[in-house]
Each structure stands twice: as C-alpha cells, then as structure tokens.
Amino acid sequence: MANYYQPEIETASREQILAWQNERLIKQVQHVWDNVPYYRQKMEEKGVTPADIKSVDDLHKLPFLTKADLRDAYPYGLMGKPLSECVRIQSTSGTTGRRVVAFYTQHDIDLWEDCCARAIVAAGGTKDDVCHVSYGYGLFTGGPGLNGGSHKVGCLTLPMSSGNTERQLQFMTDLGSTILCCTPSYAAYLAESIHEAGLRDKIKLKAGIFGAEAWSEEMRHDIEEKLGIKAYDIYGLTETSGPGVSFECSEQTGMHINEDHFIAEIIDPNTGEVLPEGSKGELVFTSITKEAFPLLRYRTRDICVLTRKPCSCGRTHVKMSKPMGRSDDMLIIKGVNVFPSQIETVLMEQGYPANYQIIVDRVNHSDTLEVMVEMAPDKFSDSLAEIAEQEKKLVNALKAMLGIYAKVKIVSPKSITRSEGKAVRVIDKRKI
Amino acid sequence: MSVHQISVFLENRAGQLADVTKLLAANAIDLRAISIAEATDYGVLRLIVDDAEKATQILLAGGYILSKTPVTVVSVPDQTGGLAPVLSVLAEGNLDVEYMYSLFTHKDGKAYIVFRISDEAKFISLLNAHNIALADNDELGLK
C-alpha cells in the first residue's frame, strides 16, 4: 500500500497542480501588493503590477527577494498580516548575520504541519508509530515542525528536543521509538552511541527523517547501517516556514517539493535568468499559501537540480536534488562549477582541519586551482615520504570530488587567517 | 639506548626556521644537532636538544606540529675514516639509511652521528657484534 498523507494532493495530475498554482499565485501577488509595501515598491520599481501576473508563466516578471531584503525589512517589513492575526514566531540561528524572524498565522502553522505530516507518512509513519523528535524545540523550526506533523499523523510524539543523549537512548529503548527526527549529525552521534552501548537489539527504530544540514550519501549509509533504518532527507528554510518544503519518499532519489504551497524555480545565480528543467542552478521559492510571511521569489542560495521524471512512489510533485552548494560561493574553474563546500567535505573526510583557503588564478590562459591546507597533528610524520603519501591521497580525493586537478599546498597549523564570522575561503586572482 | 629526536613541521617560508630556533633559545634549550629534510612547500626540521621533554612542551605550546622519534646515535673516532666501519655494517646487513646527520658534540676524541635505519634492531645488533659503541643520553649530556 502506498503511503500518502494527502493522496489527492500528493498524487494530483500535473494539470491539477498547475491549476492550483495559477489560482494561488494570482491571489498571493494581490495579497502581497495590498499588504506588503516593501515588496510593492520592488514591483513598482520593476514596473510590474498584479495585473501582469496571470499564471505561473508570468512568475519571472516578479522581483527577487534575498536574505539582504529580509535584513533590511527586519523585523516587520515583510509581514502580510497584522500582528494581531499572527500566533507564532520562529527564527534562524543567525550564524551568518542578523536573525531572520518569520511569522505564522494559525492557518500557516496548519499548512506547515501538513507538509511535515506528508514527510512522516512518506517515511512510513502511521498512527501506530512512536515519533521521537530530537530536533531542537524553541525558535528553531525543526522541533515545532516535526512535532506538529507527528501530531497530524497521529503518532505518539516524544518531544525530546536535542541533547542529553543518555535520556534520548533511555526513552528510545523504554518507549520503543520507531521514527527518529533530528539533524543528520545528531543522528550519526546517536547511532554511534547506540552502537557503543550495545543497544542495537533494544531499539525499534525503522525510519529517520533528517534535515536542516547538508549530509552525504556516505553518511546516510552509515546511519542506516548502524541503526538498521531507512534514513530520509527533509528540506526547508525558516523563510518559507521550516522543514517540509520538500521531503524524500521511498525512492530516496530527491525530495518532492510541496508544489501546492511552493512554486520552485531554478535560476542562473549570476544573471537571475530562469533555467530549464534539469539545469543546475539556484533554487528560488514562491510561497503561494502563506499568509503572515508571504515571500515571493525568495532566493535560497542553495544550488540544486529539479526533475519531473515520474517517481515510483506515485507522487507527482517535482523533485529537487540535495543542495550541492551555495550560489554565493560557486566558482567556475576550467568551466567546471566548484563549491568550497565540496572541498571542505573532502578535507574533513581525509582528516584535515576545515580551515582552508582556495586560490584560483589564470596562468597561460588556463585556470589553476590551489587549495591551502593546514598540517594536522595526525597527518604529520617524521618521514617526508609519508607526508607526501597523505598529500597524494588528498589530491586524488579532490580530483574525484571536483573533476579537476587541484594543487594542494600544506601550510603551518593555524596559519590561515581566521576572520570573525564568515571566513575568507576564496581568493580569486582572476578578478584582481 | 636510543635518543629522542624532535621532528617539527615547517612551511617553506622565510623566517620559519628563525622563529623556531628563537623560541627554543628564549627558553634556554640547547641545540645539539639540527637537520632539515625538504619538499617543495614544506620541510621537516629534525633536532636533538639537551632537554627533549621541555622542548616538546614549548614547541607544542607555540603551536608547532611535531613528532618524537627514537634514533640511534653512534659514537665514532673523530678522525679520518672514522665513519667507515659503521657504513660497512650497513652494507653487510643490507640496511637502508633513511637519514643521517651529525651532532655538534665532540668529546674525548669522539664524534657522534645520528642514524635512522630501516631496521633499527638489526642495525644495533650488528653494531654490537662489531664492537661499535652507541652513545646514550648520559654520554651526550641530554636529559
């Protein structure tokens, strides 16, 4: 039996989905025009009025919103409803600048929880499950989102929040948790702890829903193997409600975007031009049902690919790949897209510090890529041959990940400048 | 019988060697031998010092990455051809020299050579068989 929370929506025909999107987009643009002066001004600057938006095909006429807009408009500038109509605030961690504050009406929360419920059911959840939510509760959207979704499905919900691993394991074994929701890194930590405590036979977990962080396929296999579960990805941003914007199904080959609530586009991050299906580019979301925080054409900065290839799970909503990097970081070297995050992944896998610097240059009309890496205590040896062997392994791993050769330069520990906030990872001498 | 050698990672950049020796001097560490093995971008600085433990602590606190390796120090007559018998032993035992360098110390007509050999145990037993003396910490005045 196929598992859907809202089968009539999740397996709707393409025509039906488009009909919903057209109707809701037109209504949403009018709502924003009437209630959000900040965005109305952006539309006016671009010479667009609600009358210009007759269907999804006209979406490209609307101006983008970026994180910078959210900061400019902080805290109330992008609200679509008066505060008296709002019942909840959630917020980002604010690690890369001012916090993003998002507002919700009761209706917004209902729809958000529906999205999370779809993710739980897609992971095999039913009302007979014990859903163990170890995302943080509070301002972070992870805990509240999955908690609400779990209630909607009718699971017995354990609002564990994060931390206190000993208690997590005790509840998991004593109360027979069957679905675990948390960040992938915490899942990996719990898996390790369960493994070490020899509790593998005492747990009843069958599935995990892990998101809010980038994670690799290797990490998925590791968690799946250690816990004996299927591990599903879930995606979302505070700006668009939280987790549940998209989620993985049994096929585990991408996340279905809830297209009845969000219209997804892929754009060229440099020109803003909309790219055809199957192109790699920046993901842009338009919320078409949100009342309190109705963002139109919000640039996520996440780079991914969309596909409408029919899915074996029966869902008809478009699928997005795992984000492959951030558009603000993307480099084009020898015609290949390179993301610092890919380099970081390799360094960490190979046991080097994540503090690194990438130097791109052009020598004899050809791009060069150099990665400066700090020596680590366990990579050092009295033998130059052994250091060189480690270096060669790193070069090969980078080549395998990036598809192009990167020269590795090993430098003194702590010699790469550490800046406050976001580190300067890339020096592109081609632009100097 | 082995002596502790400290190997320090150094980037190939002007002033790196000066920095590390200054740090040791400021802490009254006496260098007894110094050698560098270099690759293109970095090198390994190998040191024998009077107090290996103290030097290790100082270097680690200074943010250096290092390792301690036991090495064999051979005592040879400080005269022409003094090293030859040791090298014959290496040839006889079919042993590979990974690296070697000499200490600054000269004492009672003797000179001292640091050896790092592929098979240290075999090397020492062959030296013993040929009555070639090894130097220990006491003889070299090391802690």
Return the pLDDT at A92: 80
* Domain-ending residue, one of B69, B89, B121: B69
Residues B114 and B57 in one domain: no
Chain A interface includes B7 (CB < 8 A): yes
Return the pLDDT at A68: 84
Asked if the Cβ–Cβ distance from A413 to B9 is below 8 Å, we say yes
Residues B64 and B105 in one domain: no
Asked if the Cβ–Cβ distance from B7 to A414 is below 8 Å, we say no
Return the pLDDT at A100: 85
CA A341 to chain centre: 14
Burial bucket for residue A163 (CB in 10 Å: 0-12, 13-18, 19+) = exposed
Residues B64 and B75 in one domain: no
pLDDT in tens, A39-60: 999 999 999 999 999 999 999 9
Q: Where are the beta strands (DSSP E) in A225-290?
A: 230-237, 242-248, 255-257, 262-267, 280-287
Cα atoms found within 13 Å of the Cα of residue A209, Cβ hemisphere only: 37
Return the pLDDT at A329: 73
| Residue numbers in A near B48 (CB within 8 A) | none
Q: What three-state secondary structure class fits B128?
A: helix
Residues whose CB falls within 8 Å of the CB of residue A423, separated by 6 or more in sequence, listed in order:
A355, A417
Return the pLDDT at A213: 77
CATH 3.30.300.30 domain span(s) along chain A: 331-431
Residues B136 and B75 in one domain: yes
Q: Which domain holds residue B50?
A: 3-69
- CATH code of domain A83-326: 3.40.50.12780
Return the pLDDT at A420: 47
Residues B26 and B63 in one domain: yes
Residues B101 and B132 in one domain: yes
| Residue numbers in B near A353 (CB within 8 A) | none
- Model pTM score: 0.66
Q: Which residue of A has its CA nearest to B43?
A: A384
d(CA A304, CA A327): 10
| Residue numbers in A near B7 (CB within 8 A) | 380-382
Positive or negative torsion for Cα A297, A265, A49, A53: negative
Residues B77 and B134 in one domain: yes
Strands A230-237 and A207-211: parallel
Chain A interface includes B87 (CB < 8 A): no
Asked if the Cβ–Cβ distance from B10 to A388 is below 8 Å, we say no
Return the pLDDT at A421: 43
Mean pLDDT lowest among A4-18, A407-421, B33-47, B67-81: A407-421
Who among A377, A383, A409 is closest to B65 (CB)?
A377
How far apart are the CA of A341 and the nearest CA of chain B, in angstroms?
25
Residues B93 and B35 in one domain: no
d(CA A117, CA A6): 9
Comparing C-alpha atoms, which of B43, B27, B130, B32 is closest to residue B87?
B130
Return the pLDDT at A2: 60
Q: Which residue of A has its CA nearest to B38?
A: A384
* Domain-ending residue, one of B52, B69, B86: B69
Residues B16 and B60 in one domain: yes
d(CA A261, CA A27): 13
**Element of type H or E holding B105:** strand B97-107
Residues B12 and B57 in one domain: yes
Chain B interface includes A377 (CB < 8 A): yes
Domain total for chain B?
2
Chain B interface includes A348 (CB < 8 A): no
Do residues A230 and A224 make contact, with C-beta atoms less than 8 angstroms apart? yes
* Domain-ending residue, one of B22, B53, B69: B69
* CATH classification number, A331-431, choose in 3.30.750.24, 3.30.40.10, 3.30.300.30, 3.40.50.300: 3.30.300.30
Asked if the Cβ–Cβ distance from A412 to B9 is below 8 Å, we say yes
Q: What three-state secondary structure class fits B3?
A: strand
Residues B61 and B21 in one domain: yes
Would you say residue B23 has pLDDT above 80?
yes
Do residues A159 and A134 make contact, with C-beta atoms less than 8 angstroms apart? no
For B56, the token pair is 């290790």
d(CA B93, CA B95): 5
Q: What three-state secondary structure class fits A129?
A: coil
Who among B7, B46, B65 is closest to A375 (CB)?
B65
Asked if the Cβ–Cβ distance from A384 to B44 is below 8 Å, we say yes
Asked if the Cβ–Cβ distance from B46 to A382 is below 8 Å, we say yes
Do residues A245 and A258 make contact, with C-beta atoms less than 8 angstroms apart? yes
Q: What is the CATH number of the domain that holds B63?
A: 3.30.2130.10
CATH 3.40.50.12780 domain span(s) along chain A: 83-326
Return the pLDDT at A85: 97
Return the pLDDT at A422: 46
Asked if the Cβ–Cβ distance from B11 to A411 is below 8 Å, we say yes
Residues B58 and B115 in one domain: no
d(CA A191, CA A409): 35
In chain A, which residues have pLDDT < 50? 1, 95-96, 420-422
CB interface of B with A, residues 55-74, below 8 Å: 63-67, 69
